[in-house]
Amino acid sequence: MSIGIYGVSSWDVVEPTTFLVSAFWLMTGSAFFIKNKVDFSYESGLEHYHSRSLDKLIEDKKFDTEKKEFLENYLAELDQYINVL
């Protein structure tokens, strides 16, 4: 059984806490939108973080992106050829 938030804290504690949490997310979302020109959501934040991590990893390991694109195109051509058969 839960006693709820008001059983633990009074409104004098809950109201400023919710205001500060809301203000934090407003500032975070605004900064994210200004920087990336994309609405802030969990998915867009995760995608942004993933792309930054991937770019850093590609740069650190000196990954050949041209070879990757060539192989992807080659596989797509093979897939089309197999589908024709």
pLDDT, residue 7, reads 74
Residue 4 has pLDDT above 70, yes or no: no
**Averaged pLDDT for residues 68-83:** 93
pLDDT digits (tens, 9 = 90+) for 15-26: 898 899 999 999
CB 60 within 8 A of CB 53: no
pLDDT digits (tens, 9 = 90+) for 22-69: 999 999 989 988 988 888 888 888 888 899 999 999 899 988 889 989
pLDDT, residue 27, reads 95
CA-to-CA distance for 58 and 41, rounded, in angstroms?
Answer: 26
CA-to-CA distance for 42 and 57, rounded, in angstroms?
Answer: 22
CB 40 within 8 A of CB 28: yes
pLDDT, residue 1, reads 42
Enter the DSSP assignment of 62. Answer: T
What distance, in Å, lies between the first and last C-alpha atoms of the chain? 63
